[in-house]
Amino acid sequence: MTRWPYPLQPPFFHSENHPAMNFGAIGAIMGHELTHAFDNNGRHYDSTGRVKNWWGAKARKAFLGRARCLIHFYKRYREGGRQIPALATLSENIADVGGVALAYDAMNSFIADASPATRKHWPALPDGMSASKAFFVSYAQTWCTQPPPPAQAAALMNYDEHAPPRMRVNGPLANNPAFHEAFQCPKGSKMNPLEQ
């Protein structure tokens, strides 16, 4: 039997983290991968993996409208003076936005369903943080990275289907009402734009 060589470990999961932090890290990654089944590529496959147009006309129209909005939204981001390729990164952007939303909902359900006796044994939240704030900070920390040199960053934008790491944080969080509420982002600010 082949074993995966990298067990769950920080920064994605740690048994000494409050569950909100683990949901923000590994939970958002799991949600990201699940969302791929319904993104602009995955939606073309049915439950058996066959290419099949299984969505109804109303669902397709709604999806395409929302996808256009997300393309428009991500076009506002620039890296190294260049607009990120919002159409080329659409699948990953959908999965990032969906992954954060799914993990946040899962965290809230998990916390609500836990008994007081269970919650009593959870590690404490970081000082001054609610579960919501800890979730979003944990998510953002998974994308902490040393930026590549400008020439390499520009080259990556020519072929990488992912947005640059900074946009993988700012994009999903700026599209998330729970983030706006947790951090009291004023309407019309960079992280709570009027158009989402």
pLDDT digits (tens, 9 = 90+) for 45-69: 998 999 998 999 999 999 999 999 9
Instruction: Give percent of the chain above pLDDT 70.
Output: 96
The whole-number pLDDT of residue 7 equals 63
The whole-number pLDDT of residue 2 equals 53
Question: What pairs with residue 192 in β-bridges?
Answer: 189
Task: Supply the residues annotated as catalytic.
Answer: 33, 96
Given a cut of 60, whether residue 139 has pLDDT beyond it is yes
The whole-number pLDDT of residue 3 equals 56
Given a cut of 80, whether residue 10 has pLDDT beyond it is yes
Q: Which helix (H) or strand (E) holds 133?
A: helix 131-141
Residue 155 confidence class, pLDDT cut points 50, 70, 90: confident
Instruction: Give how far Cα 116 sits from Cα of 120, 122, 123, 129, Å.
Output: 6, 10, 13, 19
Mean pLDDT, rounded, for 82-87 = 92
| Cα angle 170-172-175, degrees, rounded to a multiple of 5 | 100
Residue 5 confidence class, pLDDT cut points 50, 70, 90: low
Given a cut of 70, whether residue 79 has pLDDT beyond it is yes
Given a cut of 90, whether residue 174 has pLDDT beyond it is yes
> What span, in angstroms and rounded, lies between the C-alpha atoms of 107 and 91?
24
- Crossing angle (nearest 10°) for helices 165-174 and 131-141: 150
> What span, in angstroms and rounded, lies between the C-alpha atoms of 175 and 95?
13
Given a cut of 80, whether residue 178 has pLDDT beyond it is yes
Asked if 78 and 153 count as a contact pair (C-beta separation under 8 A), the reply is no
Q: Which of 105, 49, 97 is nearest to 71 (CA)?
A: 97
Average pLDDT, the chain: 92
pLDDT digits (tens, 9 = 90+) for 97-137: 999 999 999 999 999 999 999 999 999 999 989 999 999 99
